[in-house]
Amino acid sequence: MATSMDSICNTIGIDRVDMRERMVLIEEQHDCDANFLVNALISNALKKDYGICFVLFHNTFSHYHNVGMRIGYNLMTLKEKGKVALVEPMKELMHNINEICTDTDTMDVGNRIFSDLCIKVSDNSKDNRFDGMTVVDNMFKLLRDSYDKVASQNKTVLIIIEDISHLSDLGLSLRDSMYYVRYIRSLMESHPMTQLCVTVHTYHNDPQNCILDFISNNLKYMADLVLIAEPLVTGHSSDASGKVTVCWNVDSIRSEYHWTEKMTYLYKLLDWHVKIFAPGATTFVT
């Protein structure tokens, strides 16, 4: 599987481009799986001796560890060595809710990501308005603390915001979600040896009214590299699982490597590796 990650990195170009201070957006359209693109970025970052700060809204850390063992790296060991840090907001939310249901007086306010949500739920106040910005502030503080731990031992750090789509599940608005991204971009400006990867799951049934599509479209203007994984228009195929569109938004990079504005590839997900190839190719690139 390590070989397939190398080929994916080479195909999308991240093995040749200096990714420091760069933002990568991975859009995963409904009915397809873009995890292999995230794993390619992780593999490339570790080869370049980056530290990694995970913010996981969807998959667990164990998921990425298990995939990493197949590829050739051990995230658990790297975490123990200070190479990897982890934030799991959904687990923190469940922890907060469990504490509310048991004994609110013993809750450590400093460790709450969702302290404002907890206060609103536990109060009997008639004013139950949800302050999304407070939640965003709390989530960013936890991210910043984890980032600082990794950055203290690693010159360059990759921040992975995995499936920012789930912010809307927490009741956050488009404005709140974009503020969260802007906070992270500000962190990158003060720490220029940082790379950012944001993934978002989108639904294109009603793009005019879907907040996730609005988030993705806004992030596309901010990202240096946009990777779009989408299902095949023709439906199921035994030869391919979907297609990936690669869009480098940096003119100087496209000019240097003679890349077009959009490059499209097909991919096939197998049990132990991924195959990626150009449409119409007679052989796979593995």
Using alpha carbons only, give the angle 216, 242, 235 rounded to the nearest 5 degrees.
110
Neighbouring residues of 245: CB distance < 8 A, sequence distance ≥ 6: 226, 227, 228, 230, 262, 263, 264
CA atoms within 13 A on the CB side of 183: 20
| pLDDT per residue as tens digits for the range 207-258 | 555 677 788 888 999 999 999 999 888 777 778 889 999 999 999 999 999 9
Which class does domain 4-277 fall in?
alpha beta
Q: H-type helices in 75-210, by residue range?
A: 75-80, 89-102, 115-122, 132-151, 174-190
| pLDDT per residue as tens digits for the range 48-97 | 999 999 999 988 999 999 999 988 899 999 999 999 999 988 776 665 55
Report the distance separating Cα 125 and Cα 116, nearest Å: 13
The fraction of the chain above a pLDDT of 70, given in percent, is 80
